[in-house]
Structure 1
Amino acid sequence: MADIQSPLGKTYIAGNHGNSAAGIGVTLRERKNLSIIQVTAWADTIPTVLTAIGSATGLVLQNKPGLGRVAGEKSVFGFAPGRYFVVGATPDLESRLRSAISLELGTIVDLTHGRTVIRISGSQSEWVLSKLFAIDFSEHAFPVAYGRATLHHDIHTNIQRIDDETFDLYVFRTFARSFWQTLGHAAEEVGYRVE
Structure 2
Amino acid sequence: MADFSWNTQSPLQKALVAGRHGVASAQAGVTLVEVRDLVLVQVMARRGKAADTAKAAKKLFGVDAPSTPKAVAGKTATLVWSGPDQFTVLAPRTDESSQIDAMSQAFSGSASLSDQSDGRCLIRVSGPRGRDAIAKFSSLDLHDAAFPVGAAANTAVDHTAVNFYREANGADGHPVYSMLVFTSFADSLWHTIVDSSLEYGVDTSRTRAAA
Partner of 1:185: 195
Alpha-carbon offset, residue 72 of structure 1: 8.2
Deviates more, 1:168-177 or 1:70-79: 70-79
Does structure 2 conserve the Cα–Cα contact (< 8 Å) formed by 1:24 and 1:193? yes
Q: Is the 8 A contact 1:36 1:86 kept in 2?
A: yes
TM-score by length of 2: 0.83
The alignment-based identity, stated in percent, is: 26
Give 1:6's aligned residue: 10
Cα shift at 1:106 = 2.1
User: How far apart are the structure 1 equivalents of 2:49 and 2:7?
Assistant: 34
SS of the equivalent of 1:145 reads: coil
Query: RMSD value over aligned CA atoms?
Result: 2.1
1:11-160 equivalences in 2 (<5 Å)? 11-21=15-25, 23-42=27-46, 44-61=48-65, 63=67, 65-70=68-73, 74-90=77-93, 91=96, 92-102=98-108, 104-160=109-165
Q: Deviations over 1:158-180 (max 9, x none)?
A: 11211231111111111111111
Match for 1:166 among 169, 176, 181?
A: 176
More deviation, 45-54/182-191:
45-54
**By how many angstroms is 1:79 displaced?**
2.4
TM-score by length of 1: 0.89
> How many Å separate the matches in 2 of 1:62 and 1:155?
23
114-123 or 92-101, larger mean C-alpha shift? 92-101
The one-letter amino acid paired with 1:42 is R
Deviation digits for residues 125-166 of structure 1 (CA, Å, limit 9, x no counterpart): 222222111111122222212221110122111112112311
Q: More helix per residue: 1 or 2?
A: 1
Q: Report the secondary structure of 1:9's partner residue.
A: coil
Separation in structure 2 between the aligned mates of residue 37 and residue 30 of structure 1, nearest angstrom: 18
Q: Which runs of 5+ in 2 are unaligned?
A: 1-5, 170-174, 206-211
Alpha-carbon shift at residue 189 of structure 1 (Å): 1.8
Residue 3 to residue 130, structure 1, CA distance change in 2 (3 Å): farther
Shift of 1:8: 1.0
Gaps of 5+ in 1: none
Report the alpha carbon displacement of residue 45 of structure 1 after superposing the two structures with TM: 2.2
Q: Secondary structure at the match of 1:44?
A: coil
Residue 52 of structure 1 contacts residue 100 of structure 1 at CA under 8 Å; is this kept in 2?
yes
Q: Report if the CA contact (8 A) 2:19-2:203 is conserved.
A: yes
The farther-off stretch of 126-135 and 20-29 is 20-29
